[in-house]
Amino acid sequence: MYAGKLRPIGSRKRQHDHVTQGNKIKMSFLNLQNRTSIVTGATGGIGRAICEELAKAGSDIALFDIADEKMEQFARKLTGEFGISTRVYKLDVRRSADLRSRAWSVVDEFGGIDHLINAHGVQFLSPFAEFPEDKWTFIHDVNLMGVFLASKAVWPHMVKRKRGRIVNVASVHGIVASELKSAYIASKHGVVGLTRATALEGAEHGITVNAVCPGAVLTDLVRQQGPQHAKR
């Protein structure tokens, strides 16, 4: 059990935050109270886990996802369990105007945008020689263009406040390759490159941009590849 001796890295001001629910104590090494996070792909496997960790640390959350059936219910769960404010925004990350207007709504409703976590994504498997061109475009539009557009939508708000944190969920496939995933791999290499480019340009505005490159996590994105490919 946590004995209160560890100090979180990075900030002397950070406290160990905890929310008590019944006999369970939910702890976080971060204190993100009074912060607002936008999470894209918020109802996906990884997006949900990110939302739960942010909520545990006290951040309010704007949930962005194209699939809204489960979003309201999940947002209510987060609010009930962690006492944070949540709001759901159904949108497609390929639509620039929608992202911009939703970013303004988040600023109006929450008072600002502190964090953007790009956790949306799609996958399609095919041998390279037969890769359907429409699927190639679709994957790049969602995985890469979606990160570009979502980051661009929050950027002026972060620049204005001279601070912001953007985290892009890339993939191990942003660094290495495996068979049948050429579009996904190219898009994720693009996300890593975009992360580097925006990190350089964000520095002078107090905006940090980082990518995480997870290996396989058993989510819908992996399940839909079928058991033989999900294993890879």
Are the CB atoms for 164 and 158 separated by under 8 Å?
yes
Q: Which residues pair with 167 in a beta bridge?
A: 117, 210
At 106 the three-state DSSP class reads helix
Residue (169 or 209) nearer to ligand NAD, CB = 169
Catalytic residue (choose from 55, 114, 184, 187): 184
Shortest distance, position 16 Cβ to ligand NAD, whole Å: 28
Are the CB atoms for 153 and 73 separated by under 8 Å?
no
Alpha carbon distance 65, 47 (integer Å): 9
In the complex, the residues that contact ligand NAD under the rule CB under 6 A are: 40-41, 43-47, 65-67, 92-94, 119-122, 142, 146, 169, 171, 214, 216-217, 219-222
Shortest distance, position 162 Cβ to ligand NAD, whole Å: 28
Backbone angles phi, psi at 63, to 5 degrees: -95, 120
Residue (160 or 232) nearer to ligand NAD, CB = 232
Among 113, 62, 114, smallest CA distance to 91 is for: 62
Shortest distance, position 190 Cβ to ligand NAD, whole Å: 12
Alpha carbon distance 102, 96 (integer Å): 10
Residue (35 or 173) nearer to ligand NAD, CB = 173
184 flagged as catalytic: yes
Residue (37 or 171) nearer to ligand NAD, CB = 171
∠ CA 216-218-224 to the nearest 5 degrees?
A: 100
Shortest distance, position 160 Cβ to ligand NAD, whole Å: 25
Among 139, 145, 147, smallest CA distance to 211 is for: 147
Number of H helices, E strands in the chain: 8, 8
Q: Which residues are tagged catalytic?
A: 184
